[in-house]
């Protein structure tokens, strides 16, 4: 069984027991989280696709920690104009352990 969820403008394919890094959520470590933005769900027999979300389906997960990704370097350059700009960015994330995919009847 798997589901496709939306978080931070991106889509993720998740299944039970999987670890996942999402955009930062305002939660603490060990807290239970429910994600209701489920775009599609497959239970092994059939697939349900939402419009835009599937009604009555949500993902339950536990927060493992908060952190920051590796640094991404952004380098801007214009030749012959003496213009160079180097900046870095580290995206914040929340790591989740997907515990269960619930399908309400």
Q: How deeply is 28 buried, as exposed, middle or buried, from its count of CB atoms within 10 A (0-12, 13-18, 19+)?
A: exposed
Give the chain's domain count: 1
Q: Is residue 105 scored above 80 in pLDDT?
A: no
Predicted TM-score of the model (pTM): 0.84
- Reduced to 3 states, what is the DSSP secondary structure of residue 33? strand
Query: Mean pLDDT, to the nearest integer, of 10-17?
Result: 96
Residues 66-93 pLDDT 10s: 999 999 999 999 999 999 999 999 999 9
**pLDDT tens sequence across 29-45:** 999 999 999 999 998 89
Structure tokens, 40: 């599609």
Residue 104's pLDDT is what? Answer: 80
Which residues constitute the domain of residue 88? 2-103
């Amino acid at each position: 069984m798997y589901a496709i969820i939306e978080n931070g403008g991106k889509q993720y394919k998740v299944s039970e027991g999987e670890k996942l890094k999402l955009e930062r959520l305002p939660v603490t470590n060990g807290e239970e989280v429910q994600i209701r933005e489920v775009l599609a769900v497959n239970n092994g027999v059939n697939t349900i696709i939402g419009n835009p979300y599937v009604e009555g389906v949500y993902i339950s997960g536990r927060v493992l920690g908060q952190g920051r990704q590796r640094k991404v370097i952004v380098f801007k350059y214009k030749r012959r104009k003496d213009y160079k700009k180097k900046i870095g960015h580290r995206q914040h994330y929340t790591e989740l352990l997907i515990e269960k995919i619930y399908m309400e009847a």
